[in-house]
A and B are shown apart, each in its own frame.
Chain A
């Protein structure tokens, strides 16, 4: 029998036993025993953030870039409530993170003690599951159960609330890493009959398309490999959601670009006109479908998802397949006839049609010799960084969409963005989390001038741990996405969307002990990017871009896929009347 150890020690031991080398957190009264345990060991490194929301997003960045689970440790009360946004973010984007929160001692629960909050109550709606630990005997089981739940099935955030007396209490620790859960056992292996039905549909398709999503990334690198194999074998066109970028290499000829509200013309037209759609690990979100009753009206749909509740939630499908994306794609490949080129209906007409849509060149924009166009900035950033070992995160807004449109992702786990929740302030802490997991890689947060201020304090974390996190701000002096919508919906009355009183980002970087570089002219752009890469430590680039550029193409809310606003040539009246009264109520 091992010696008894304290609850605090068990928590750290369980984290180490789960193979997690770094955690993000912020101390306080209710987690002091855990911090004391952290101090006395070397297996798990602790990264001190500057705000608990930052710890949450850093854990997300760590998780998404490694395929492991991210961990954060916060104190009771305000520490816990500060994580709510990050937990919700992870819930909507299916990112596995484990939040350990301190709680007042068990006998004080319910007494409105100092820094008491009903953390389990508050986070019930923003976690996959959460636990309040009431007995030290339960702690080892709950810790390992938490990691299991976070990572299995459709991944997501979980929270373990640990009262201070439990952290002090002594008990027996056991590594319960590999135990079968008594209730939660998601289906991973697909039903073969459904796969055969899917293949029947696919073999008869004249206009097939694959639409993939974040589920492929979550399923691990192997799932992306199978997806690429599948496309190589079938020659189908493929598009993906914002969350799924990188699962299939963007440089390949079958790639149509991202779909959805700011997706490419060819991707959205192909989705609208296809006759068989294979959806892999995506969930028919409203940013993807546009107007539901006009979404891909003539197609038969196959939907692979690990979460049964995603099936038929927004869009009815003919062939649902419940299972892990990787395992399902493998089975699909195994059962696909070898001589598929000969058996399947030819679809050269379909590719011709797609080529004609591609020729529209929907991402083209007006070049400008004096002002940096935001699209150009991302294009140059891509060209210069593509041969590095690069990871990109973003904040939320136009810059995020331009990053998705113009940065080409060749591999999974290289792109971290807040998709489902759209959390401004995600990018910098997430980039720190990625950088902690990949200290030698180039990690860049493509940011907006407004978003970056939401978690700018995390620059201090980057400085403290000598992280090389780079922040590339597309500074348009506006909450650009809000400004664009005000132009579309509200007669261009730009209510509160101008970024008044922006800080001097160069001085700001300097004040934190980082480096700041400003660039205003297209001719200096490349040199600035190179300087950013070559400067050690955290760097902020204040890239001043054209201020009123709109992000196109766009499917205005309430419209169908084949009803897009294209490029920069759209006259202002068209923009002003693009959204009908029905569309205006939608977000």
Chain B
């Protein structure tokens, strides 16, 4: 049994498409359970989440903004956008990457990073932090906590360097994103 791979009669989707990374902004009513609905959609349909942030952004109107970084083939990315739009408490979904391109949207993330060490290692950590324009927000004789803001890739790079000079732990906020220019969504 199971000697050869099953050839499913249902197999419709071609797997040849390249996967892409997309950032989406989702404006939702800040009502109980809304985050669970969004996350449930991703889990139930097998979509990927690289990063997810959520916070109320307009108190009067009770609106929250969810920023999701996801990846998948272009067809899957389209599906994700449409599936999100179909959720009842969702006002608007913008695929920032698709609508405005890599350069059309600003993406920032904040991370705080704890390193511990002595002597040279400690100096090296400080020098690297300076080079990345990270600021020191806590210090003891054996440790620092740095705060860095920037694009995800920069932060990744900073953290990987820190792992050589006594990285202890990291906390990241996830991505916040806006489109460039005068207009809002």
The distance from the CB of A122 to the nearest CB of chain B, in whole angstroms, is 9
Which of A40, A109, A165 lies in contact with B46, CB distance below 8 A? A109
Instruction: Indicate if A401 sits at the interface (CB-CB under 8 A).
Output: no
Instruction: Specify the main secondary structure of chain B where it touches its partner.
Output: loop
Residues from chain A with Cβ under 8 Å of B15 in the complex: 107
Contact of B13 (CB < 8 Å), options: A6, A111, A170: A111
Given that A164-B8, A169-B2 are contacting pairs, would A107 and B43 also be in contact in the complex, using a CB cutoff of 8 Å? no
Residue count of chain B within 8 Å CB distance of chain A: 17
CB-defined interface of A94-122 with B at 8 Å, one 1/0 digit per residue?
Answer: 00000000001111111101100010110
Q: Across the interface, which residues of B come within 8 angstroms of A36, CB to CB? A: 1
Q: Given the interface contacts A37-B1, A108-B13, A110-B47, does A121 sit within 8 Å of B40 by beta carbon?
A: yes
Which residue from chain A places its CB closest to the CB of B4 in the assembled complex?
Answer: A168
B47: chain A residues at CB < 8 Å are 110
Q: Are B10 and A168 in contact (CB-based, < 8 A)?
A: no
Interchain CB contact (< 8 A) of A168 among B6, B40, B43: B6
- Nearest CB in chain B: distance from A551 CB, A: 38
Shortest Cβ gap from A418 to chain B (Å): 28
**Given A165-B6, A168-B6, A120 and B1 touching (CB < 8 A)?**
no
Instruction: Tell me whether B79 is interfacial, beta carbon within 8 Å.
Output: yes
Say yes or no: B2 contacts A109, CB within 8 Å: no
Within the assembled complex, what's the spacing in Å between the Cα atoms of A121 and B5?
28
Alpha-carbon separation in the docked complex, A153 to B8 (Å) = 41
Is there a chain B Cβ closer than 8 Å to A33's Cβ?
yes
Contact of A165 among B1, B8, B40, B79 (CB under 8 A): B8
Count residues of A near B (Cβ-Cβ below 8 Å). Answer: 27
Q: Is B157 an interface residue (CB 8 A)?
A: no
Task: Report if A145 contacts B (CB, 8 A).
Answer: no
Contacts of B46 in A (CB 8 A): 106, 109-110
**Assuming A8-B2, A121-B40, is B10 touching A110 (CB within 8 A)?**
no
Within 8 Å CB of A8, what residues of B? Answer: 1-2
Q: How far apart sit A104 and B44, CA to CA, in the bound complex (Å)?
A: 12
**A52 on interface, CB distance cutoff 8 Å:** no
- Complex Cα–Cα for A5 and B2 (A): 8
Quick check: A110 and B1 within 8 Å, CB to CB?
no
Is residue B45 within 8 Å, beta carbon to beta carbon, of the partner chain? yes
Chain A residues whose CB sits within 8 angstroms of the CB of B40 once the complex forms: 118, 121
Q: Evaluate contact between A110 and B2: CB separation under 8 angstroms.
A: no
B44 near A110: Cβ-Cβ < 8 Å: yes
Q: Which A residue's beta carbon lies closest to that of B39?
A: A121
Residue positions of B touching A, CB distance < 8 A: 1-2, 5-6, 8, 10-13, 15, 40, 43-47, 79
Residues of chain A having any CB pair with chain B under 8 Å: 5-9, 33, 36-37, 40, 104-111, 113-114, 118, 120-121, 164-165, 168-170
27 A-B residue pairs with CB within 8 Å: A6-B1, A9-B2, A33-B1, A33-B2, A37-B1, A40-B1, A105-B6, A105-B8, A106-B46, A108-B8, A108-B10, A108-B12, A109-B46, A110-B44, A110-B45, A110-B79, A111-B12, A113-B10, A114-B10, A118-B40, A118-B43, A120-B43, A121-B43, A121-B44, A164-B6, A164-B8, A168-B2
The 6 closest A-B pairs by CB, nearest first: A110-B45, A118-B44, A6-B2, A121-B44, A109-B46, A168-B6
